[in-house]
Amino acid sequence: MEIEEGKNIQVSDKIFANIEKYKHEEYQYLNLLQNIINNGSWEEGRNGKTKSIFGTSMRFSLKDNKIPILTTKKTAWKTCLKELLWFIRGETDNRLLKEQDVHIWDGNGSREYLDSIGLFDYEVDELGPIYGMQWRAFNKEYICNNKQKIIHENSFNPKDFDFDFDLDKTEDRNYGVDQLQIIIDSLKDPKKRFSRRHIMTAWNPCQLQQMALPPCHVLCQFSVKNGDELSCAMYQRSCDEACGTPFNIASYSFLTHLIAKHCGLKASEFVYFKGDCHIYEQHLDCLKDQLTREPYPFPTITIKQIRENINDYKVEDFEIHNYLHHPQIKFQMVV
pLDDT digits (tens, 9 = 90+) for 131-179: 999 999 999 999 988 765 444 444 344 444 444 445 454 445 578 999 9
* pLDDT tens-digit series, residues 174-222: 789 999 999 999 999 999 999 999 999 999 999 999 999 999 999 999 9
3-state DSSP of 169-189: HHHCCCCCECHHHHHHHHHHC
Angle at which helices 245-262 and 26-39 pack, to 10 degrees? 150
Go through the chain and tell me how many residues it has: 335
Q: What is the pLDDT along the chain (335 residues), one digit of tens a residue?
A: 444 555 554 544 554 445 556 789 999 999 999 999 999 999 998 888 999 999 999 999 999 999 999 999 999 999 999 999 999 999 999 999 999 999 999 999 999 999 999 999 999 999 999 999 999 999 999 998 876 544 444 434 444 444 444 545 444 557 899 999 999 999 999 999 999 999 999 999 999 999 999 999 999 999 999 999 999 999 999 999 999 999 999 999 999 999 999 999 999 999 999 999 999 999 999 999 999 999 999 999 999 999 999 999 999 999 999 999 999 998 877 77
Strand 41-45 with 318-321, pairing: unpaired
**Which bin fits 55, alpha (ψ -120 to 50), beta or left (φ > 0)?**
left
Sequence spans of domains, the chain: 25-321
CATH topology of domain 25-321: Thymidylate Synthase; Chain A (3.30.572)
**Distance (Å) of CA 82 to CA 79, 86, 87, 88, 124:** 5, 6, 9, 10, 20
Residue from 319, 315, 303, 310 nearest 261 by CA? 303
DSSP string, 305-330: ---SSGGG--GGGEEEE----PPP--
Contact 65, 300 (CB under 8 A): yes
pTM of model > 0.85: yes
Maximum alpha-carbon separation in the chain: 83
Catalytic residue of the set 80, 144, 206, 216: 216
Cα–Cα dist 263/185, whole Å? 8
| Catalytic-residue membership of 216 | yes
Give bridge partners of residue 267 from the DSSP assignment.
230
